[in-house]
Structure 1
């Protein structure tokens, strides 16, 4: 097809009739990159789990194995930058005079990655003038290890990867009174964010527990999707 035909194909399939579509772009490459409507995060389910299947129930060993403390879950975290923050022991809830054999020790396991929107096939005129919706979604296990087990912080960054143009933070509190152990959805839509966005920085943290055995909080289905939808300014 000709360059003009590739451009018309992009316009028709993504519904971009009102979006700026400069002739200088290689529309065949843009079409093949499919930057709109697909998940731009790499490796969105490192634990190999799906939100359509209930998270696995934690398994207790018949004879707990004693060894060095463990603070990082198993998984293939390629595509993510990971880090671990071991938290100090919390003895505030222990009654005076009580004998304690084991205290739980918690850790935050952080995973982050940065999406280069232009490298994924989006173009400056679309991001600056049309400002398509940028949809964030994540699913975490209601592990009930603690009242605070999940945090999310997403930032829309400028070309220097430093300037924050818009951001969204989630830090829910869990209800420990009822055991449900399901996947919990977290989502947000960036709209009307203004010109200059070139990167999306996605960071979430999940809490783990180590007493005699290790119990993680799992996640799946993380996504950053740019929708071919005009935002309100």
Structure 2
């Protein structure tokens, strides 16, 4: 990195003063003078900022003075921060335009689906089909690999539910999505009830501003026989290089049992997720 010889403090009205007291009776300095200034080379200030929580650098440090703002806004600082926390870009030929945004979106990577495990009953989901005895939420029958304690369960006619994710509202602006096109990772866990066959279906669509399909993942319906072991199985997909224009993600899943038994013997679903993945997975 090219060293910056510029110092902070002596040329600005805001300065850093270091005072030390040897005891309570030590006299306070009469007045500030040119010797009270503590000039800081900007490269050193950058190193200090690397050890300050990122949100404090943005919300506090960059407001102190012009030189601090210069460091807090610098491309080199956020590149170093990404490297230090091992947020690696997926393609060296497609670098982010805004490294600070890239850093925070990596830092705040999360599941964009609301209530994915049924902890809040059916809150957050739009019910598309509610056949048989309708959707229900139960405690898991078999231990889940990720520790989920509850699952959604379907009935003897088709049940489907969905969520529509607005990427702008979740913090992924149009410029970032169009230029960088981060991977979009989909995951869904499903299981049968032993002794009863069932069907599982899911689809995920990337939509543009007009909610027209840009790309979709629409696997064949899964049919589990009554002799299935009832253990959890995972459906996954990663959208890559999907092109510009993606503004929404529509997630739909559901199913039913195949014996038309009253009650809730259909497919069980839990721990669904949709993640935007700006950085390369370790």
Q: TM-score, normalised by structure 1?
A: 0.65
Give unmatched runs, 5+ long, in structure 1. Answer: 49-74, 88-104
The match for 1:8 is 78
> In structure 2, what is the Cα distance between the partners aligned to 1:121 and 1:84?
30
Task: Pick the structure with more strand per residue.
Answer: 1
1:109-139 deviation per Cα after TM superposition (whole angstroms, max 9, x unaligned): 1110011112111122321122111000000
Aligned length: 180
Give unmatched runs, 5+ long, in structure 2. Answer: 1-56, 63-71, 133-154
1:73-93 deviation per Cα after TM superposition (whole angstroms, max 9, x unaligned): xx7011110133548xxxxxx
1:154-194 deviation per Cα after TM superposition (whole angstroms, max 9, x unaligned): 0000012x211000112343352733111111000101111
Shift of 1:8: 1.4
> In structure 1, what is the Cα distance between the partners aligned to 2:107 and 2:244?
18
1:17-46 deviation per Cα after TM superposition (whole angstroms, max 9, x unaligned): 8533349x8x59x83x76753111111111
Root mean square deviation of aligned Cα: 3.1
> Which has the larger Rg?
2
The match for 2:277 is 227
2:97 to 10, 17, 21: 21
Shift of 1:149: 1.2
Q: TM-score, normalised by structure 2?
A: 0.54
Is 1:190 paired with 2:263?
no
The match for 1:44 is 116
1:170 to 210, 215, 219: 219
Alignment of 1:131-142 (within 5 A): 131-142=181-192
